[in-house]
Structure formats: structure tokens, C-alpha cells
């Protein structure tokens, strides 16, 4: 099988490519150049897709004896991920750029180009597993390495995309075993730190980064009774559940801290209130998809679990498609969930589907 190995320059993708080669596939390595700043260099574990990463990927490919290319996806990345990220914050939402990157770059643009060039599959270093059921349908499941499981960010994949995807690391029990294997294979990235934070904001300060793209417009901070308790210099950068940095002029009657509950871009208002108002009992989104085969019956509520953060826990829930929305009722409240986040639903270890959250329902009514 002709396999296109996406090589980020990290240890996971290098070992995934090595396993694909060892399995007898005809493998070609490719590094995606996503930044338009060619001088960008990595700092420790901050940032990714830099010149340093491309060179690490090249060295790994050379060690494996496979062809290697760098493909410029910077324009597509800017439009589909960075611009989307900015637009979501402008709309008062909290986006997940890693979900958009997997959906629109790694498993849309890359797979589309790979198939056009005659490749059969794209191989990545994600920690997840693809399992075929008795009828030949493909299912995405959690990795055995639960601490590193990345099935959440792959919840956007369709049945057709699963047919052309390979995740060779899914059955590996730990990241330490991957590093040991990389060292045994003589790969120089064996001890390279994992990347974290948003790749195009390597300094980690999202609010400061957004100032360059979104003009700051001052507005009011309002409590749940409609009282003005402070002002802000721009709603962009506030996040649901935020407590620090609000600079409120009036303390709450009970003296307890207040948290950001809602962001209203049209009126430039930020709504704050008590911690208990962050308890969310229902989520809903119209931009939903099924990962693999869709459930036979979605009009009636069915039991599932839901996860709303990449490294968060799942909680019991019920889900159904109601009036064009995937509605998820939580049997155990989640705290601080914001529109723009992704809710991924599971049946045991299987990823069933996902939706971008459009609205939430709090256990405590907000009357302003």
C-alpha cells in the first residue's frame, strides 16, 4: 500500500512512519509547512511546524530511507485555522484550533492531495485506533495509552476519511515505550519534548496575540442582576469560567468571586456571576458529524458519554438530533463550557461523533 506519512518533526510521527515502513508499505514522508514566518524556530516544547521541526522530520526520513518532501500549506492553514480562530473569538466563542487543523488540514487538504497523487492512506502519529466491525464498518477508538489518547481531536473524521487513515501508535501502552523504540531505531527525536499550546501562538498569550488582529472596543461588565460592576477594553480574549483579571469595581453581595459566564459581542457586554452558574446541564450544536457509521436512530435520546476538552474526562450523557441540532443532556454537570468548544461523544471507547457547541444551558438561570 502507498502511504503518505505526515511527519511533524516529533517522536510520535517518526515512529509511526517507521512502523509503516516495517509493515511493508511504500512510504513517503511529508512535512507540512504551516507558518509564513520561515525564520520561526522552536523554543523547548513551545511551537511546532517550525524550521527546526522540518529538519528533524528530514533527518528521521533519511534514517528510515524514505523519500521526503515539504508541502506548503500555509495559505490553507491561515484561511481554515488561523482566520477561523480569530473570527470565533470576535463572535465571543472559544474555538479549538487543533480540531480545525485535523479536520481541514491533516485529514482534508493533506488526504485530498495524497489521494490525488495515488496514495492509499495518510499515516500520522496520533494515539488512537481504527477497528473494523463484523460488517466491515470502521470505528475510531481510544488509544491504549489513555494518558496520551488523542481520539478527541480526531472526532471530526468521517467514515471515508477513516478508510484512508493509519494510526500505528494506537495499540502502544505508553509514550515512554515510543521514546524507547525511537532510541532503539536510532531516531534523533527520541528525547525531543512534546509540543504544547497553540502552534501559531508559541508565546502562549492568546489575548495579547489577538490584539494584533482584533481592535479593542471597550464595554461593560454586567452581573446576573443587570448591574454594571466594571468595564473592559475589549471582549476578545475573555473566556468562559475566567476569574482572574476582571478588575471588578463592585464586589459581590456575598463576597464570593465572580466568573465570566457569557460574552456578548453585539452589545460589547461581558456577563459575570457566581461559580455555580458555570454548571452546564445541556449542550447543543448544529455543526455535527458522525465518526464512522452514523447511529441508526438519532431522533430519540440514547445513552453515551461526552468529552469537551482534549485532556478532559468524559461524563455520562444522553444525546439526540433535535431540530437540526445535536443536543447533549448531561447527567453530571460540566463546569465552564463555552460556545465554540467541541463536544465529542463516546460509546465506551468508541468515538461516535462530535459537534461544535453553539449554545449551552446553565443549571442557574441568567436573567440579563
d(CA 45, CA 139): 32
Q: Is 348 helix (H, G, I), strand (E, B) or coil?
A: coil
In the structure grid, which three cell numbers stand for residue 346, read together? 463516546
- Spot the catalytic one: 48, 49, 101, 304: 101
Q: How many Å apart are CA 318 and CA 339, to the nearest integer?
A: 19
CA gap 164, 125 in Å, rounded: 14
- End-to-end Cα spacing for the chain: 59
Contact yes or no for 145/127 (Cβ under 8 A): yes
Classify the phi-psi angles of 348: left when phi > 0, otherwise alpha if psi is within -120 to 50, otherwise beta. Answer: left
Q: Which of 298, 247, 289 lies closest to 272, judged by CA?
A: 247
Residue 2 CA to residue 22 CA, distance in Å, equals: 13
Are 139 and 154 in contact by the 8 Å Cβ rule? The answer is: no
Residues 6+ apart with CB under 8 A from 18: 60, 64, 181, 182, 185, 187
Nearest residue to 274 (alpha-carbon basis) of 362, 181, 213: 362
Conformational region of residue 186, where left means phi above 0, alpha means psi within -120 to 50, and beta covers everything else: left
Catalytic residue (one of 48, 49, 123, 199): 199
Q: How far is it, in rounded angstroms, from Cα 128 to Cα 152?
A: 9
CB 193, CB 27: distance < 8 Å: no
Whether 199 sits among the annotated catalytic residues: the reply is: yes
Q: The C-alpha cell of 336 is what?
A: 465552564
Per the CB < 8 A criterion, the answer to whether 298 and 356 are in contact is no
- Is 48 an active-site residue? no
Please name every residue paired with 4 in a beta bridge, in sequence order, or none if there are none: 28, 122
For helices 11-22 and 51-64, angle between their N-to-C axes, nearest 10 degrees: 20
Active site residues: 101, 199
Amino acid at each position: 500500500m502507498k502511504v503518505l506519512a505526515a511527519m511533524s518533526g516529533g517522536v510520535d510521527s517518526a515512529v509511526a512512519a517507521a512502523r509503516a515502513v516495517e509493515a511493508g508499505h511504500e512510504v513517503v514522508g511529508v512535512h507540512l509547512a504551516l507558518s509564513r514566518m520561515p525564520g520561526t524556530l522552536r523554543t523547548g516544547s513551545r511551537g511546532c511546524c517550525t524550521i527546526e521541526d522540518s529538519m528533524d522530520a528530514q533527518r528521521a526520513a533519511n534514517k528510515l530511507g524514505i523519500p521526503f518532501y515539504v508541502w506548503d500549506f500555509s495559505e490553507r492553514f491561515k484561511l481554515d485555522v488561523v482566520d477561523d480562530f480569530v473570527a470565533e473569538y470576535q463572535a465571543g466563542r472559544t474555538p479549538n484550533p487543533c480540531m480545525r487543523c485535523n479536520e481541514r488540514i491533516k485529514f482534508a487538504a493533506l488526504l485530498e492531495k495524497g489521494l490525488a497523487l495515488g496514495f492509499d492512506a495518510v499515516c500520522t502519529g496520533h494515539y488512537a485506533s481504527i477497528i473494523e466491525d463484523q460488517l466491515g464498518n470502521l470505528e475510531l477508538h481510544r488509544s491504549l495509552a489513555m494518558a496520551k489518547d488523542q481520539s478527541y481531536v480526531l472526532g471530526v473524521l468521517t467514515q471515508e476519511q477513516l478508510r484512508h487513515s493509519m494510526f500505528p501508535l494506537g495499540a502502544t501502552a505508553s509514550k515512554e515505550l515510543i521514546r524507547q523504540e525511537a532510541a532503539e531505531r536510532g531516531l534523533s527525536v527520541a528525547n525531543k519534548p512534546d509540543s504544547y499550546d497553540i502552534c501559531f501562538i508559541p508565546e502562549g498569550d492568546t489575548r495579547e496575540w489577538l490584539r494584533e488582529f482584533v481592535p479593542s472596543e471597550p464595554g461593560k461588565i454586567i452581573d446576573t442582576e443587570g448591574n454594571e460592576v466594571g468595564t473592559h477594553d475589549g471582549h476578545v480574549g475573555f473566556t468562559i469560567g475566567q476569574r482572574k483579571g476582571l478588575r471588578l469595581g463592585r464586589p459581590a453581595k456575598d463576597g464570593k468571586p465572580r466568573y465570566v459566564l457569557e460574552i456578548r459581542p453585539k452589545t460589547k457586554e461581558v456577563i459575570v456571576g457566581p461559580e455555580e452558574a458555570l454548571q452546564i446541564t445541556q449542550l447543543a450544536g448544529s455543526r455535527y458529524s458522525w465518526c464512522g457509521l452514523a447511529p441508526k436512530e438519532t431522533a430519540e435520546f440514547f445513552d453515551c458519554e461526552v468529552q469537551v476538552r482534549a485532556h478532559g474526562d468524559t461524563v455520562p450523557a444522553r444525546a439526540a438530533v433535535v431540530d437540526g441540532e445535536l443536543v447533549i443532556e448531561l447527567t453530571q454537570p460540566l463546569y465552564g463550557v463555552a460556545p465554540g468548544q467541541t463536544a465529542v461523544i463516546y460509546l465506551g471507547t468508541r468515538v461516535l461523533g462530535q459537534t461544535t457547541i453553539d449554545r449551552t444551558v446553565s443549571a442557574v438561570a441568567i436573567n440579563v
